[in-house]
Chain A
Amino acid sequence: MSLARRKLLQLVGLLGVPTVFLLIFFFGPLLIMLVYSFLTPGLYGGVDWIFSHLNYGRILGWADTRYEKFDPVYIAIFLRSLKLAALTVLASLAVCYPAAFWISRMRPGMRDFAIFLVTLPFFVSLIVRLFAWVLILRPTGFLNQGLMGLGLTGGPIEFLYTDFAVILGMTYVFIPFMFLPLYGSIEKLDMAQIEASSDLGATRFQTFRKVILPATLPGIVGGSIITFIPALGNFIVPSVLGGAKVLMIGNLIEQQFLSARNWPFGSALAMLVMSAVLVLLIAQFRLAKKEAQS
């Protein structure tokens, strides 16, 4: 057996099974969703194998004028989801950037412990943690009791079932996602470069803007993307902390599959979310490539 042939066989042996697994179980469901999104909903759930573009029409602006008129509510929910996800990213950044800076300057033992603390919430069920937030945020919750006890407000403030609660909850959930890539790039930051900048006349703010921020940009972009994607499609946080008032695209998709039993429409909504994410990833990829060239 020739060496090249042997190498090829080794490669196939090593990668063959995982490749087939991914093709079937990762791309398979996506393909099913894509096909379903162009079909007609069955009368009792499921699908009828009749081509239809109206699932997308219902979202994007052309409707089946026989049964319903075009309603921009789906676009509105999608845009709101984009906004909430973006605000979640910003809030996580605001929390994680200083924290990552601080932790990266700790002595090694403390540092490992602090990173462990950041990942600690993963050890408790997400639902349990979100219900803990309900206890904090509800009108008779700890936050309102504290505020009223201090005399800062007369009556309870509506925290629960608002955009605020959803953003707060998602920020809480996604902080480890933001923290780890940020920490990776901040830890690599060369302290000597910060000193050099100061030595060359830059104030702290100038140093931050011209040296620290550009040097940690890969971490910021990476953390933002892996926070934004799950935040955009999230349905657990808005359903627990947003109730019926703050509906995100994730909840809508869930409803279409489980309550409305309109699988093709749910698939079309899911495809919409996925294409938004794809556009974002491609834009980031292009940007990174341009950055690498210049």
Chain B
Amino acid sequence: MTPFDTYPAGLLPAGSQDRTPMPSPLEIIDARKSFRTPEGGTMTALDGISLKLASAEFVTLLGPSGCGKTTLLRTISGFETLDAGEVLIDGSAVTQMPAHRRPVNTVFQRYALFGHMSVARNVGYALEIAGRDKREIRTRVGEMLELVGLAGMEKRSIQQLSGGQQQRVALARALAAKPKLLLLDEPLSALDKNLRQKMQQELKALQRELGIGFIFVTHDQEEALTMSDRIAVLAHGQIQQIGAPTELYQTPANLFTADFLGESNLLPVTVTSGRGCLPDGQSFATPHAPGEATLLLRPEALSVTPPDGHALSFTGTIRETYYTGTDHQIALETPAHGTMHALLRSGGALPCLGSEITLYAPAQGLHLIDEAAP
């Protein structure tokens, strides 16, 4: 079963179910790639990765550095060749096709704009290479610059632009030749926080407007959650889990995903005949199969007021508090579970450092991860 088969129908873009089946914008089948390290060993960058875009989706490849996400992107753009496996773009195999003939374009991490050319020539480069008519190029460049909010900037030189503007030029340049798929290699990492958030929203809106697939590489989980239709979490050259942001956040399939996406409290659980048992003796009903498992409690699931019905409670001493404006982040030292993290809405009584406090979590709908806790 490929990840695509489990794709929740409700998340497909409107109207896409009743259309006749179109070729997938991108399909990767069992991609494998290893590199020789300078020390003489081998490093497996891609260890059997399969991925299929259902439609013009915004898919994020998320993972720590060295997880293979950039390598995967480069095999799509054609800068790396696979040791084994296939890459299909729009239904046709491009595995052996050199980069310059592939119908995809890339927004590079540090933009890689041509410093000796004007903004207009940068944006029109792909069309110039394709030998298009000068008037057509000028029109298209104008459209593209308008699309990214840089109308009238044609004559500027790259050095005259701010980082955010360069980012937009890189985007316009990659989109000018109407690629079937846009690849983005951590394009926002060089921008400051406010600008980054603005660009995240614009990129998402742009993807909807253009109706083409975006493959976005990042190590920033917040960025991934904000923008993506689906996120593929990568580690050690494998896809750990792929799914909608809410799915990944609320019901991670393994410890790596749970830990990498957001803050989490991971508690060891022993399940016997429909009941999960915590080390301190508290128990709760669960449909999970018997055996060792891990309970995922997100910091925001904990609260100072007990919820209605059965609840889990955790008593401990407050070791650290951070005030973020909307919330208090708390590190709670508990005798049974070690340090736990909680996120409390501000406005209530301010928990003070060193005081003892009891936090509650509803005992229903808890998510258990199959692996035993670390």
Q: Using CB atoms and an 8 Å cutoff, list the residues of chain A in contact with chain B.
A: 190, 192-193, 195-203, 206, 210-211, 214-215
Contacts and interface: CB of A to CB of B under 8 A. Distances in A.
Rank and list the top 5 A-B pairs by shortest CB-CB distance, nearest first: A192-B112, A200-B126, A196-B112, A214-B116, A201-B129
Contacts of A192: 108-110, 112
A268 B126 CA distance: 55
A198 B100 contact: yes
B100 A196 contact: no
B129 A199 contact: no
Contacts of A196: 106, 108, 112-114, 173
Contacts of B101: 201
Interface in B100-149: 100-101, 104-106, 108-110, 112-116, 125-126, 128-130
A215 B115 contact: yes
Contact of B125 (A190, A197, A214): A197
A203 B109 CA distance: 22
Given A192-B110, A193-B112, A200-B125, 9 more contacts: A192-B108, A192-B109, A196-B112, A197-B114, A198-B100, A200-B174, A202-B100, A202-B125, A203-B100
A198 B126 CA distance: 9
A210 B121 CA distance: 11
Contact of B130 (A190, A197, A199, A201): A201
21 contacts: A190-B115, A192-B110, A193-B114, A193-B115, A195-B79, A195-B106, A196-B113, A197-B114, A198-B79, A198-B98, A199-B77, A199-B78, A199-B79, A199-B106, A200-B125, A200-B173, A201-B100, A201-B129, A202-B125, A202-B129, A215-B114
Nearest to B157: A294
B45 interface: no
Contacts of B173: 196, 200
B177 interface: yes
B105 A200 contact: yes
Given A192-B108, A192-B110, A195-B108, A200 B116 contact: no
Nearest to A190: B112
B99 interface: yes
A206 B101 CA distance: 13
Nearest to A292: B157
Contacts of A201: 100-101, 126, 129-130, 177
B110 to A, nearest CB: 6
A211 B129 CA distance: 12
Nearest to B79: A195
A199 B99 contact: yes
Contacts of B108: 192, 195-196
B145 to A, nearest CB: 16
Interface in B61-117: 77-79, 98-101, 104-106, 108-110, 112-116
Interface in B19-78: 77-78
Residue from the set A200, A201, A210 with the largest chain B CB neighbour count within 10 Å: A200
A200 B177 CA distance: 8
A211 B113 CA distance: 10
A189 to B, nearest CB: 10
Nearest to B121: A210
B35 to A, nearest CB: 15
B112 A198 contact: no
Contacts of A200: 100, 105, 125-126, 129, 173-174, 177
B105 A199 contact: yes
Given A198-B99, A198-B100, A202-B100, A215 B116 contact: yes
Nearest to B116: A214
B156 to A, nearest CB: 12
A206 B77 contact: no
A156 B108 CA distance: 58
Contacts of B112: 190, 192-193, 195-196
A201 B113 CA distance: 15
A282 B126 CA distance: 36
Contacts of A215: 114-116
Nearest to A193: B112
B114 A211 contact: yes
A196 B122 CA distance: 10
B115 to A, nearest CB: 7
Contact of B100 (A190, A199, A211, A214): A199
